[in-house]
């Protein structure tokens, strides 16, 4: 079974530029998560989708961040414009449902460097 796929794995951009990350969850997983992980820290949830509906986006900085999950399968996370403080690893995860007891499967992440 293929795992969660993310691309690109690495991205280097200059500040004020836009950037987008793509995630393809495990087939059949209805719930998709985007996390941000700063160096030396644990992941922090940005947004959670149940199918195509964003059910928890309270931690998403909506002035510059946006996400979509068209057709309830793969998802895109965008930052526009990027700031120096956005340098981090962006992780995508999926689970079969959104219950707190459900195992989440994580992708390898996209490491973003903003210069």
Q: Which residues contribute to the site for other proteins (CB under 8 A)?
A: 4, 33, 40-45, 48, 56, 91, 93, 98-101, 103-109
CA dihedral 44, 99, 94, 66 (to 10 degrees): -50
Nearer to other proteins, 93 or 112 (CB): 93
Nearer to other proteins, 81 or 106 (CB): 106
Instruction: Determine the Cα–Cα distance for residues 86 and 105; give it in Å rounded to an integer.
Output: 23
CB of 98 to other proteins, least distance (A): 6
Q: What angle do CA 81, 83, 85 make, to 5 degrees?
A: 150
CB of 40 to other proteins, least distance (A): 7
Nearer to other proteins, 52 or 56 (CB): 56
CB of 84 to other proteins, least distance (A): 22
CB of 46 to other proteins, least distance (A): 10
Nearer to other proteins, 4 or 114 (CB): 4
């Amino acid at each position: 079974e293929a795992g969660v796929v993310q691309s690109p794995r690495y991205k280097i951009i200059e500040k004020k530029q836009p950037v987008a990350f793509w995630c393809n969850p495990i087939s059949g997983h209805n719930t998709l998560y985007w996390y941000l992980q700063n160096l030396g820290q644990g992941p922090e949830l940005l947004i959670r989708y149940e199918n195509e509906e964003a059910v928890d986006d309270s931690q998403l900085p909506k002035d510059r961040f946006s996400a979509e999950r068209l057709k309830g399968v793969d998802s895109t996370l965008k930052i526009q414009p990027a700031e120096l403080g956005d340098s981090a690893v962006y992780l995508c995860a999926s689970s079969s449902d959104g219950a707190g007891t459900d195992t989440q499967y994580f992708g390898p992440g996209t490491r973003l460097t903003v210069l």
